[in-house]
């Protein structure tokens, strides 16, 4: 509960002891970084096991979807979720 109050105070620029950045600017930066970590491709280090994508129903970086697939609510349900790393060609040393 106290965490929610602090976050709300930051968002509304009511938190004390902030001169630069402002409380609201700090909140926006933390929020942006949290969203990036939650919803970016796992190849960048966040979104472990596609948790963010599963949360919103995003199928991942799929190579081929027809226009009909894109309009269907069921098109992504049977396709395995993959990220950019799976799309990259294998490099051999």
- The percent of residues above 70 in pLDDT, for the chain, comes to 74
Burial 82-93 (b: 16+ CB within 10 A, else e): bbeeeeeeeeee
Domain locations along the chain: 2-87
- The closest alpha carbon to 61, from 78, 74, 48, 42, belongs to 42
pTM of the model: 0.55
Structure confidence at residue 86 (pLDDT): 63
For 15-42, the pLDDT digits (tens) are 777 777 877 888 888 889 988 888 888 8
List, for residues 41-82, the tens digit of each pLDDT value: 888 888 888 888 888 887 776 666 677 777 777 665 666 666
Structure tokens at 39: 């919803």
**Residue, of 89 and 65, whose pLDDT is higher:** 65
Average pLDDT, stretch 6-17? 78
């Amino acid at each position: 509960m106290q965490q929610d109050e602090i976050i709300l105070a930051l968002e509304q620029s009511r938190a004390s002891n902030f001169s630069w950045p402002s409380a609201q600017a700090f909140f926006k930066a933390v929020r942006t970084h949290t969203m990036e970590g939650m919803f970016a491709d796992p190849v960048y280090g966040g979104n472990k096991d596609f948790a963010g994508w599963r949360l919103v129903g995003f199928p991942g970086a799929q190579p081929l979807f027809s226009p009909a697939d894109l309009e269907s609510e069921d098109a992504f349900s049977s396709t395995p979720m993959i990220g950019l790393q799976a799309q990259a060609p294998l490099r051999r040393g």
